[in-house]
Homo-oligomer: A and B are copies of this chain.
Amino acid sequence: MRLISAGGHQIKAQTGEELQVCRIAVRDLTRDRGEWVDRSILTDDPNEVVNDPDIDIVVEVMGGIDPARHLIESAISAGKSVVTANKALLAVAGAELTKLADDSRKDIFFEAAVAGGIPLIRSLRVSLAGERVRRIAGIVNGTTNFILSSMSDSGASYAEALRIATDLGYAEADPTADVEGDDARAKAAILATVAFGKLVRFEDVYREGITKITSDDIAFAKRHGFEIKLLAICELDENAGGSETISVRVHPSLVPASHPLALVRDSFNAVFVTGDAVGELMFYGRGAGGSPTASAVLGDIIDAAHNLSYGVTERQLSRDSAAIVDIATTSNSFYVALDVEDRPGVLAQVASIFGRNLVSIYSMEQEGKGDEARLVFITHTAPEAALHSTLEELEELETVKRVAGFIRVFDA
């Protein structure tokens, strides 16, 4: 809003759209909001925004499912276009909200919901509309990337890195949605829906967070030429019969150090898009923060205003539901760490279990000795189910103290 108040003149000059901030609903009317806000337009009742007949475009940046969902529905029903940054809501109710907007012949734009200021959604919806997108793989959560980057740079433990992230304001007091991967999960659902033209919902997305990643995992990965990143991966597969399946998942991944995604540091976001004609594209920038989000919201507002002045709307997104692939049926190369007894014959026992499950080993290394003995493997590509039965059998082996962890290797 500040961008409009301060830059309205420039926006008019560059785009021809005259924007005016009519009303702002806030939680706390008493809080100081600086000079740029005309306090007379503040209200603590969002319904006053939604029901104001003078308002053409409603911007929702409150977050959360309720009351945001009801407010957006009311706004669209009242004939307003909506700009929202609410990834959580879109991931569970995007189809319904989009349909409502289409039926009302109004727009709902959400560039800021994924990767903040990076113009990814519109690029996928419009510029790449004719592109057959095969895969999207990206770092879409800045908090976890900050944590993993600082673990990689300093050798810090997960707990230490999280504390630094919290102190610096990169992680919220309750970091669960970020570190368990649900924030990225919502974004993955939105990206897959937009890129593939199929309806993918929050619950369709497999997700693992980063809380089990240890500094040992990261050190091993680095020694073997990988960085560990939390990736959101959306893949479209054509099956023999011509039918299509979609796999959407969020989990830590070993990314080859030479891959551009491995080089994304701090709280930056980056998204790799692979398409049949366009090949590989990458979008990189600040994924969060007030200012990049505001930039994306403002772009949407100007686009919505342009459409309103012509009485048109953005083209509809397809709402066919998708055939979602269970992660158990996908295949990956895996990093596996086992804490073992340090005595002769253990490797043979372990290797025979990998072999019996048809999981081929690409590389193996022993770390530590005696009580600290650990075997670390990278496998060739193997079905997820085969890896899990391997791990179950390994858990039962007397010489294996525990499966310390496994991480998928990104197929760059």
Contacts from A to B (Cβ < 8 Å) = 3-4, 7, 10-11, 13-17, 111, 117-119, 122-123, 126-132, 197, 260, 263, 275-286, 289, 291-292, 294-296, 298-299, 301-303, 306, 310, 312, 315-316, 318
Partner of A131, one of B13, B298, B301: B298
Given contact pairs A15-B130, A260-B263, A303-B129, A285 touches B278 in the complex (Cβ within 8 A): yes
Contact A14 B111 (CB under 8 A): no
Set of chain B residues within 8 Å of A11, measured between Cβ atoms: 129-130
Q: How far does the alpha carbon of A275 sit from the alpha carbon of B119 in the complex, in Å?
A: 13
Set of chain B residues within 8 Å of A279, measured between Cβ atoms: 117, 285-286, 289, 291-292
Q: How far does the alpha carbon of A15 sit from the alpha carbon of B128 in the complex, in Å?
A: 11
So how many copies of this chain end up in the complex?
2
Contact B197 A13 (CB under 8 A): yes
Q: How far does the alpha carbon of A10 sit from the alpha carbon of B292 in the complex, in Å?
A: 34
Further pairs besides A277-B295, A279-B292: 20, Cβ < 8 Å:
A11-B129, A17-B315, A111-B127, A117-B275, A117-B277, A119-B123, A119-B128, A123-B127, A128-B299, A129-B298, A129-B303, A131-B298, A260-B260, A278-B286, A278-B295, A278-B296, A279-B285, A282-B282, A310-B312, A312-B312
Q: Which residue of B lies closest to A281 (CB)?
A: B285
Set of chain B residues within 8 Å of A281, measured between Cβ atoms: 117-119, 283-285
Partner of A282, one of B17, B284, B303: B284
Q: Which residue of B lies closest to A270 (CB)?
A: B282
Given contact pairs A117-B277, A291-B277, A291-B278, A132 touches B299 in the complex (Cβ within 8 A): no
Set of chain B residues within 8 Å of A17, measured between Cβ atoms: 315
Chain A to chain B contacts (Cβ below 8 Å), 22 pairs: A3-B277, A7-B132, A10-B132, A15-B315, A117-B275, A117-B279, A119-B127, A119-B281, A122-B126, A123-B123, A126-B126, A126-B299, A131-B295, A260-B260, A260-B263, A277-B291, A278-B285, A278-B292, A278-B296, A279-B286, A284-B284, A312-B312
Contact B285 A316 (CB under 8 A): no
Set of chain B residues within 8 Å of A7, measured between Cβ atoms: 130, 132
